[in-house]
A and B are shown apart, each in its own frame.
Chain A
């Protein structure tokens, strides 16, 4: 063997590389237990609790997708509502064609990927911050195009077909489980994607794009994958929103408000951490419930908190936790310990 092989082997033998710290393994078990608990909720609590949780799950899913795009892909989009809308309308259209709405949700995700391919080609022609505004414009274009289609309800929106015969309690429970599945899929999907090669490429690009490119990473391809996955996730979330509210309204579903929610949840929770959107969504949700009587002021406070966090606490709340405790529930990095030395 060559000298370089020999040296590399020697070095590797002295070092212990692991994906998860001991704490992560413990927390993994705890998370699993939590998921089982949450899945059992429709049998235990009233439907208004599960209906509220559906909203929380949708927020977590959306925020995770935005975090994937911005925190890991480095693409700050203010236009993901385009795919929320496309996903929602896909479910409406498929339901009209006779597809069972709950099955239409994953199909909506696929539809979004199809639309996301040409969209990404256009959007990627803008760099940096201009990309953000560009995505916003594109979302607007989608809204204006959809509104022109009478079969989809035009400017006033449309109701969802196919669920009216269902018992309300059962419908509530099924919607809840689909929403929970959505959250698990998006958060889990993020985690798995980032642990793999794509994740490694992305983190390399995020840290130093030129060097990553020089190391042979196809930067555009990595970013496009992230964009497509994010679109799919947002689309599925849009589908769940439709299934939950039983109708769609173009001004509401294509509203930049969704981006506002996504962005603030991630910024406050912690951008670039898989745990960030979870923490942020809980904070946001609590704020929303507490300030429910104050109308638009909760958005003002949200905006102000978001500004403050973006300015002074770039790592968000989870970044703070991570710095103080080193805790990682979803480890996407590597732990390197040199064996033979106690750490």
Chain B
């Protein structure tokens, strides 16, 4: 029974990982940028929420509703101001710029908030749960997180396949020059992709902060979850990312059952196994 419980927990966690991974995957697909500061953005969002709550006394859900769109705007601006220029500065430049950003963010947070670990207080909601078919306990927070993640992923999928701008994002990731040729302004398209990436990672970060502690140095671990979910699931497919997230979540959960210290390592080992034997991912999307 414990094992089934573990699988269920892992499944729900997987949705969250998929949400983390979406932004990373989108930025890489459209702009060929791996944002090394991706995880740190989630942590920044968490600290921002913390500051807003203690500063204004607003309830958590209001803060979430405010922070996520704010991050979308930040993403758009970051792309237009910082990343766009480095795209033409050579292949290394964007990687180095995002790495620099990661270091800057981590250390600014360290200076402002100190190295103490925090959590976001989700109140009674965060700890309550219900029984499902016998001895399977499902927490409300993990369930809502999972449903929210799926809803967001579905929403992005609809955006990409049904709207003109979404279509252009996909076209840009296929062939940027020809996308320009049919009228797409790359800077705007990239800005939108980055905005979505920042917003989703902020949401994921906030949901994660309610169930797990964070401190200025936890950004890289979030990045690694996102990255592993993308590689396991396969590049180029949102549903692949969801699958990757779920596989990662379930693996970690099962690993934790064996030995709590094995949690992260189990996930890493599965990631390495996929890398070794099926590097294109479990659900390889369109061919490169």
Contacts and interface: CB of A to CB of B under 8 A. Distances in A.
A256 B264 contact: no
Interface in B13-41: 28, 32-34, 36
A297 B275 contact: no
A304 interface: yes
A303 B100 contact: yes
B224 A311 contact: no
Contacts of B227: 130, 133-134, 137
Nearest to B288: A127
Contacts of A78: 36, 99
Contacts of A312: 89
A120 B1 CA distance: 40
**Residue among A129, A263, A295 facing the most chain B CB atoms (10 A cut-off):** A129
B266 to A, nearest CB: 10
A204 to B, nearest CB: 17
Contacts of A296: 107-108, 110-111
B58 to A, nearest CB: 29
B100 A306 contact: yes
Interface in B230-245: 231
Interface in B208-257: 220, 223-224, 227-228, 231
Interface residues of B, number: 44
A136 B220 contact: yes
A263 B111 contact: no
Interface in B39-86: 82, 85-86
Interface string B83-115: 001100111111111011111101110110000
A264 B102 CA distance: 12
B258 interface: no
Given A267-B96, A307-B100, A300 B34 contact: no
A133 B107 contact: no
B222 to A, nearest CB: 12
B265 interface: yes
A133 B25 CA distance: 13
Contacts of A141: 265, 268-269, 272
Given A141-B265, A144-B265, A310-B89, A300 B108 contact: yes
B279 interface: yes
B33 A126 contact: no
Contacts of A132: 34, 36, 95
A263 B117 CA distance: 28
A145 B264 CA distance: 11
A202 B123 CA distance: 58
A122 interface: yes
B286 to A, nearest CB: 16
Contact of B86 (A267, A271, A310): A310
B256 to A, nearest CB: 14
Contacts of B94: 129
A92 B174 CA distance: 51
Contacts of A140: 224, 264, 268
Interface residues of A, number: 40
A300 B33 contact: no
B198 interface: no
Contacts of A129: 28, 32-34, 94-95
A296 B110 CA distance: 7
Interface string A245-287: 0000000000010001001100100010000000000000000
B26 to A, nearest CB: 14
Interface in A167-185: none
B104 A304 contact: yes
A116 interface: no
Contacts of A341: none
Contact of B95 (A76, A295, A300, A302): A76
B36 to A, nearest CB: 7
Contact of A306 (B82, B96, B106, B228): B96
Given A130-B34, A132-B95, A137 B228 contact: yes
A133 B34 contact: yes
A148 B261 contact: yes
A130 B100 CA distance: 17
Contact of A137 (B32, B34, B100, B271): B271
A297 B272 contact: no
B132 interface: no
Contact of A125 (B86, B228, B279): B279
A314 interface: yes
Nearest to A295: B111
Contact of B223 (A76, A128, A133, A300): A133
Counting from the closest, the 8 A-B pairs by CB-CB distance are A129-B34, A307-B100, A310-B96, A303-B104, A303-B103, A296-B107, A299-B107, A306-B100
16 contacts: A126-B275, A128-B32, A128-B91, A132-B34, A140-B264, A148-B261, A263-B99, A264-B103, A296-B108, A299-B104, A299-B107, A300-B103, A303-B103, A307-B82, A307-B97, A310-B92
Given A128-B91, A307-B101, 10 more contacts: A126-B279, A130-B227, A130-B231, A133-B36, A137-B268, A140-B264, A264-B103, A296-B110, A299-B103, A310-B92
Interface of B: 28, 32-34, 36, 82, 85-86, 89-97, 99-104, 106-108, 110-111, 220, 223-224, 227-228, 231, 261, 264-265, 268-269, 271-272, 275-276, 279
